[in-house]
Structure 1
Amino acid sequence: MKFNEIEGEDEQEQEDLFEHYAITVDAKQSLVRIDKYLMDRLPNVSRSKLQDAIKSEYVLVNKQPIKSNYKVRPLDEISISLPEPPRDTEVKPENIALNIVYEDEHVLVVNKEAGMVVHPAYNNWSGTLVNALAYHFQQLPTMEGNDGRPGLVHRIDKDTSGLLVIAKTEKAMSGLAKQFFDHSIDRVYYALVWGEPAEQKATIDVNLGRSPKDRRVTMAFPEGDIGRHAITHYEVLQTLRYVSLIQCKLETGRTHQIRAHMRYIGHPLFNDATYGGNQILKGTKFTKYKAFVENCFKIMPRQALHAKSLGFVHPISQEKMYFESELPQDFTEVLQKWERYVQYT
């Protein structure tokens, strides 16, 4: 059995090799060939590249593939995925500091800062966690099918902070990968979400998959016939009138799982621009309140999500390992501001 799929809250699969666009045609747009229409709107993309993308069904109109002579109509929804040229998968070592929580000869646990990309990919070929690992550690193992991602068995979003386990040997990678495959890894995240969930403690068991309008976005498919099985267990830890601090335990590791699941139940993560959380979704219309929320957004200019704890069985010693991390400063500061707001207003 092969365990060659890196799991994680931001699992990107092969999507890193594509450049994505989503366009809604203007209501007053006249009929025009789609390749000409897109050339006027996509800078530095040749007509031949667009035509190749259309032939390969990387261009969809209203979720359906079309031909090159298709003429766009008002309010058409166009999604485009343009393949990027293959990149050299050799990782360049970079002297970037790592916050190491635990290390032995087989495994490494790091506490990743928000803003750091986990592995090299489109638009982020340097400055990643993997570039740092390549500098500090030699010859980390790589799972089959994951060239350019040495040591990784899971990952978290660029703007999500928190704990990651890295494999330093082939045997450790195999053992950890099997635990992720079996969903036996214990992963707990803290998130600040808009509103107060109706249930104090619940399980979200809803399939997740790529949005046909924008493949960088994950959406819920409650009917269960599309997407991949995804389970998130959440518990409300603290209610703060217009936002809530919650704990999420992942049973699966799908792309943007917590972010998409919480949006699905009507409680997007605070300041999550991709899933609508960067708008004021709960609260008053007073100018003072608006200024307070916008100040919180400035303090934490990212989604309020932190990989708080991580538990697994050591792949060599079979010892149960468990690690916890403190909330980062930006998260803590915003949480304290909400606590004071609730107390004094």
Structure 2
Amino acid sequence: MKNTITIKLENQGQRLDIFLSEYLTDYTRSQIKKMILSGDVLVNNKEASVHKFLKEDDKINISLNSSKTVTKTTNKSKDNQKDNQDIFKDIKLISKTDDFLIIEKPVGLLVHPTDKNETNTLVDWLLSKYPNIKNVGEDPARPGIVHRLDKDVSGLMVIPLNQKSFEFFKQKFKLRDIDKRYTALVHGEVSKNTDEITFFIGRSRSKEGIFAARPTKSGDINDKDKQAITEFSVLKRFKNYTLLEIKILTGRTHQIRVHLKAYGHPIVGDKLYLNKKIKMKRDLSRIFLHAQHLAFVGPDDQKYDFSSPLPEKLRSFTKSLKEQPEIK
């Protein structure tokens, strides 16, 4: 059976999967997303992404009897829904104003979909809780996202709730006018109490999907490499480990992870950038990197200062380590 829907003006700007979940009430969100991804849903006779934003007079064709379409919720899809609900429950709303949210992103949650069209990202959660955010930002697939954290990193994020606020925070980040700090546990005993890492960062030329640091004076820098600045100070020293507070003055992809690896002290639990020669006596099952501090002057000229404690798993790991005396 085929259904055809013509989008009305009142539904313009709504996301395809969200619109269909309201229209096809007998289907779950995950089933609808599977229908879209399997090609059972066409928009203007073309396959569309889950995150496509609809326009007035768009025509949606739905094949409800396709063999590719799941019509019953399987145990696996139930498990997936439970996992998705669980990770959404782990999102903490720290503060809300008329202009922005401060949230604490849990580890394992992707901020926005990539070219793989992932679902159940932070963007999905934002759209379900704050539908008007769909018009905020520069990219329809990333509404409200003015900065990001890696999927495997937890911690604080600011989410603009309107376009004026988005432009405000975009400029703040560009001018490096936001105090953003992280806590990381690294391998090895860092000799300096404070230091600044200034290696350029670019895509690895030997391995796809990762980035590499290139010293400023190496002569190996090209026009695609970008300047990156990372500052750190030592919080605690342990036998074979060091706990750092990190401040980044630029926001490059994987910046902290790449810089610390190049500095000779990769982050504990970072399977992407960890030297294979380093053996872990205890599996942390995540990267030890947490965005723990965010401070700025807001659009209302008020000063805001937010802190987030280390997640229990990270605190527990540090308690198992043997402390070393401070270097003066």
* 2:252 equivalent to 1:257: no
1:306 aligns with 290
* 2:118 equivalent to 1:134: no
- Residue from 237, 240, 249 that aligns with 1:239: 237
Equivalent residues of 2:155, 2:290 under 8 A apart: yes
Structure 1 SS opposite 2:256: helix
1:192 aligns with 185
- Residue from 277, 281, 292 that aligns with 1:294: 281
* 2:266 equivalent to 1:268: yes
Output the amino acid matched with 1:337: S
* 2:45 equivalent to 1:87: no
* 1:86 Cα deviation after fit: 7.6
Q: What is the alpha-carbon distance in structure 1 between the residues aligned to residue 301 and residue 243 of structure 2?
A: 34
Q: Where does structure 1 lack aligned partners over 5 or more consecutive residues? A: 1-84, 282-289
Structure 1 residue ranges, 4+ long, deviating more than 6 angstroms after superposition: none
Residues 203 and 324 of structure 1: CA distance in aligned 2, closer, same or farther (over 3 Å): same
Output the amino acid matched with 2:301: Q
* 1:198 Cα deviation after fit: 2.1
2:160 aligns with 167
* 2:319 equivalent to 1:325: no
* 1:197 Cα deviation after fit: 1.6
Equivalent residues of 1:91, 1:131 under 8 A apart: no
Equivalent residues of 2:198, 2:216 under 8 A apart: no
* 1:313 Cα deviation after fit: 1.6
How does the TM-score come out when normalised to structure 2?
Answer: 0.69
* 1:255 Cα deviation after fit: 0.6
Structure 2 SS opposite 1:126: coil
Equivalent residues of 1:91, 1:130 under 8 A apart: no
* 1:211-259 deviation per Cα after TM superposition (whole angstroms, max 9, x unaligned): 0223421111113633101000001111101011001001000010000
Structure 2 SS opposite 1:276: coil
Q: What is the alpha-carbon distance in structure 1 between the residues aligned to residue 156 and residue 189 of structure 2?
A: 27
* 1:87 Cα deviation after fit: 3.4
Equivalent residues of 1:218, 1:256 under 8 A apart: yes
* 1:117-164 deviation per Cα after TM superposition (whole angstroms, max 9, x unaligned): 1111244611211110010001214322x2211111000011101000
Q: What is the alpha-carbon distance in structure 1 between the residues aligned to residue 181 and residue 302 of structure 2?
A: 20
Q: What is the alpha-carbon distance in structure 1 between the residues aligned to residue 163 and residue 213 of structure 2?
A: 35
Q: What is the alpha-carbon distance in structure 2 between the residues aligned to residue 108 and residue 206 of structure 1?
A: 33
Structure 1 SS opposite 2:182: strand
Output the amino acid matched with 1:334: F
Q: What is the alpha-carbon distance in structure 2 between the residues aligned to residue 209 and residue 218 of structure 1?
A: 6
* 2:235 equivalent to 1:214: no
- Residue from 220, 225, 228 that aligns with 2:226: 228
Q: What is the alpha-carbon distance in structure 2 between the residues aligned to residue 104 and residue 149 of structure 1?
A: 20
Q: What is the alpha-carbon distance in structure 2 between the residues aligned to residue 270 and residue 280 of structure 1?
A: 13
* 1:91 Cα deviation after fit: 7.5
Equivalent residues of 2:136, 2:161 under 8 A apart: no
Q: What is the alpha-carbon distance in structure 2 between the residues aligned to residue 142 and residue 205 of structure 1?
A: 33
Residues 213 and 137 of structure 1: CA distance in aligned 2, closer, same or farther (over 3 Å): same
* 2:96 equivalent to 1:103: yes
1:248 aligns with 246
* 1:200 Cα deviation after fit: 1.2
Residues 86 and 209 of structure 1: CA distance in aligned 2, closer, same or farther (over 3 Å): farther
Equivalent residues of 1:151, 1:167 under 8 A apart: yes
Residues 302 and 267 of structure 1: CA distance in aligned 2, closer, same or farther (over 3 Å): same
1:183 aligns with 176
Matches within 5 A, 1:45-60: none
How does the TM-score come out when normalised to structure 1?
Answer: 0.65
Equivalent residues of 2:182, 2:293 under 8 A apart: yes
- After superposition, the CA RMSD in angstroms is 2.3
